[in-house]
Chains A and B, each alone.
Chain A
Amino acid sequence: MIELEGLTKRYGTKTAVDHLSFQVRPGVVTGFLGPNGAGKSTTMRMMLDLDNPTSGTVRIDGKHYRELAEPLKYIGALLDAKAMHGGRSAYNNLLCLAQSNRIPASRVGEVLDLVGLTPVARKKSKGFSLGMGQRLGIASALLGDPEILMFDEPVNGLDPEGIHWIRNLMKALAAEGRTIFVSSHLMSEMALTADHLIVIGQGKLLADTSMADFIQQNSRSYVRMRSPQQERLRDVLHANGFVVVEAGNGTLEVDGATTEKLGELAAENGLVLHELSAQRASLEEAFMQMTAGAVEYHAHGTDVHSGAAAPGPQWGTTSQGA
């Protein structure tokens, strides 16, 4: 169990983390979500006592990180894949970490095997690709066989095979009853792996909820329709008591209806349809709406947020069948 209480970090006048209080419960995967610059990495560094909080505390099973005698046996963390000495071999990088926490040297071989780096164990880590560096970082996190694991953006920069591997690894670790705390700026990634969700924006806590509740509250289903006879279609829908939203580009969005029902209605009225599809507003959209007011770096010129429920082939929208 990790407990954060009023954790705050200020750099000059800028507040990176603002009175953050939450708990990371044992035995589940807790996703830590926020846009870039929301304070996720700063929070994680404070949890490991690498950065000093301006105020507030972090306790791990009731103790400060600095009070842990051999912390690698409690918490394993992947913060930054390249946080190893490039001139040292993968094996030796892990060996010096193991020795500092009195972890037997045989464990180094075990974790290298677990992450699939045994063939390059004696190679200098500076020649490693991003994916191999990430695997080495994960091996160092697993070194002490800890109950709690912390991963900061573990899938960043990985190829699909690597992403798949990390997802499965996290699930397997959680299934063993470990506590997993994983940060990401991608909701879609969290939806696949996390049981519990903590969302922050500009250093403030925006949500602390179970994944299931978040999905239930935030996903909206609707049917998208496109027709050359748009005016008539709209009148027909209104006449039958449907709520219709005009979404631009000649498309209509209808809430609370099935494609079957609307298709039959169009046929009865002899209307030509160019599109009839069930849509679900993705969790990504819900996340973006939640953090809209708290995004650190806006892209100028594109209005991301009003487009959240817009139609068209946008990355934020997924077809139900996809």
Chain B
Amino acid sequence: MAAASAVLQSEWTKIRTVSSTVWTLASALLVTVAMSAALCALFKSTFDDLSEVEQATFDPTFASFSGMILGQLAMVVFGVLVVGTEYSSGMIRTSLAAVPQRATFLFSKIAVAGGLALVVGLATSFLSFFLGQALLGEHRTDLGADNVLRAVVGGGLYMGLIAIFSMGVATMLRSSMLSLGILVPFFFLISQILSAVPKAKEVAKYFPDQAGSKIMQVVPDAMGSEKAPYGPWGGLGIMLLWVAVSLLGGYLVLKNRDA
């Protein structure tokens, strides 16, 4: 067997020597932090205009992650490109000729890229949190309050898992364009729209992003959002199941199909 440590090192070299790594991860961080900060400033200045329910369930922690809805798309792009460029460039044949043990190849790649996405995700959520709280003024909370640390760490996990889920999907579809064409509209539009439509939202609750984002809420069902039949960790568990299914699907496709 190829030594896993050697393959991990090789995958790390691959990831740090392409420019898309830097611009996708930097976008994920900057877009999330900037948009969250802008929305926190907006919440502060318009707090009195919010409805009573919204005021009563205002979740300063969750508010400081509002930019993630856009920032997660950069994570999707990162996850898709890490895998997809192997196929679009034809590098996959060179890579598999060097590491014919496909499980070692795939899971080394995902460990390295997923680990990096988790680190950047955590940095993003902590930055977003601190900047957001600073801008919320009297409505702010702090890291020591109940469940806040869980939500902030959870925000980082969420970002990382979105990237890993995208890697699994791209391995199944073997194409960057196709994967982006499905994942970006799904996370940005379809999931958001369906979660607002009666009946459809009963299903949408179990989508990876809807379930996973519960971990970032300190106030349950914050800001008048839908009641969920699962708690924050339950939601993250559902997201992890999605990630596991996408990785398993990706592995089966890679194992059985011609490169």
What residues make up the interface of A, taking CB atoms closer than 8 Å to B? 45, 48-52, 65-66, 68-72, 75, 77, 79-80, 82-89, 92, 95-102, 140
A68 lies within 8 A of B100 (CB)? yes
Residues of chain A contacted by B2 (CB below 8 angstroms)? 69-70, 100-101
Measured in the bound complex, the distance between the Cα atoms of B18 and A153 in whole Å is 29
Within residues 208 to 259 of chain B, which ones have a CB less than 8 A from any CB in chain A?
256, 258-259
A48 to B102, CA, bound (A): 13
9 other A-B residue contacts (CB within 8 Å) besides A65-B100, A84-B90, A99-B6: A48-B93, A48-B97, A50-B259, A79-B93, A79-B97, A85-B14, A85-B86, A88-B14, A97-B94
Residues of A within 8 A of B98 (CB): 71-72, 97, 100-101
- The contact of A102 among B6, B14, B93, B101, by CB within 8 Å, is B6
What are 6 inter-chain pairs, A to B, with CB distance below 8 A? A49-B100, A52-B258, A83-B94, A88-B17, A96-B13, A102-B6
Produce 1/0 per residue, B85-109, CB < 8 A to A. 1100111111111111100000000
A99 CA to B6 CA, complexed, in Å: 6
Give the residue name and chain of the A residue nearest to B3 (CB): A102
- Chain B residues near A87 (CB-CB < 8 A): 18-20, 85
CB distance from B99 to the nearest CB of A (A): 5
Min CB gap B26→A, angstroms: 16
Residues of B within 8 Å of A69, CB to CB, are 1-3
CA–CA, A92 and B21, complex, Å: 15
7 shortest interchain CB distances as A-B pairs: A100-B10, A51-B258, A92-B17, A99-B10, A83-B90, A96-B13, A50-B259
- Give me the interface of B with A, judged by CB distance under 8 Å: 1-3, 6-7, 9-11, 13-14, 17-20, 85-86, 89-101, 256, 258-259
Closest to B14 in A: A96
Smallest beta-carbon distance A98→chain B, Å: 8
CA A69 to CA B14, docked complex, whole Å: 20
Q: Which residue of B lies closest to A126 (CB)?
A: B89
- Which residue from chain A places its CB closest to the CB of B17 in the assembled complex? A92
A28–chain B nearest beta-carbon distance, Å: 23
Are B13 and A92 touching (Cβ within 8 A)? yes
Residues of B within 8 A of A77 (CB): 97
Residues in B whose Cβ lies below 8 Å from that of A51: 258-259
Give, as a whole number of angstroms, the nearest-CB distance from B130 to chain A: 34
